[in-house]
Structure 1
Amino acid sequence: MAKSTARHMAAKKNNIARNAGAAAVAGAALIGSVAPANAFAVATPAAVDSTPTLVDYASSTSYSTNGAAVENTTATVKTQDSKTQNLEGKRAAIVAGAYDGIGGSYVWGGESYKAWDCSGFVSYVFAQQGINLTSYTYAMAGELTPTSNPQPGDIVFTNGYAHVGIYVGNGEMISALNPGQGTLKTSVDGGGFMPVDGYYTVAGL
């Protein structure tokens, strides 16, 4: 009886060890996988009115409800040092497109209007201006040029390049955060939750 019990316990330990090993391999495979966006970002929302206080738009054409590009768009924004700056052309349209995205849902791997993840949101807004960016967060940084003087319409990466948003001036960005918060305007560091990795610009803006 004692020998039978000992053999049973040894077999049980072997099964536990094999299961733990399988779980470790599966976890490593998941960590090494590439996804359109990475871990959800969490941030403290910035105050956003129905009419943004930091951005005033003027356009000779209407802005369509599906986020289509705006021609002849201008925008007045506050920069990071609180100076007023007038934007025109694609930069203004990108900022307008970012604001239009506020309230959109967070959908993992999404690239559709108001149904996107963080990189899908950025790539969607830029695509409306004829600028094609990958919807993979890490790869997107490689398509851009780093800048130490970010302007509204530039791109900001946080959380070890796991999160990305559109810089809109005054130290704030708009990004798709997570399924609970959706697309919001926040400070670039999310109120201290998202360390900033760097600002990037697109050639030709």
Structure 2
Amino acid sequence: MNMKSDKIILGSRSPRRKELLSQIFPEASIEIIPPQDSEEAGFDQLCDLESIRQRLISICTTKNDDVYRQVNQSGAISTPILTADTIVVIKRPDSGYHVLGQPPTGPEWKQTVRNWFLDAYAGKTHRVMTGLCLREGEQLITEIAQTLVTFHDRDTVDRHLEWYLSTEESVGKAGGYAVQGAGSVFVNRIEGSLSNVVGLPLENVLRLLT
């Protein structure tokens, strides 16, 4: 296996993404340069998959442009730059597709996650989508990885839900759960990349980097 470069810049604040990337790329060769602008376009009013995909690509491309501007100031523009963004998408029969972000930061987060688990997840299948943007010189490559995640039935979810909320693992997690942690007890089936659900689809990244 030959990598196109012996170094890579990961434009992310996520420790999980760095940990995942280090599984396929030497950790000492990974430089972390988070985007300076933390504001991101949202998914409000988007209820079809194509619009959601386009917005997801736009977000990770904007992140990449941000990091590129920072790197360009130092003159080190030959190193590949990788950015990503992961979302959870559910489908409601009456209103189409919806993106679930992170739970609110206030005390209402528990009720929000409780509603997500019982109404959107239990006994159903949802999508986890990660947009990728890789810049190598003047070339910009984007793609989206998708994994289908099916939760156990409502009785099983309800049985463990209050315990799970007490762990506070949901805080700061897209969709309110971590499949690599205690949230795995709710998962009945995963179709596609597991690392994508964690936050970085290694299969896709490896293909782009080799």
Classify the TM-score, shorter chain: under 0.3
The structure with the largest alpha-carbon Rg is 1
TM-score by length of 2: 0.27
TM-score for the superposition, normalised by structure 1: 0.28
Point out the structure with the larger helix share: 2
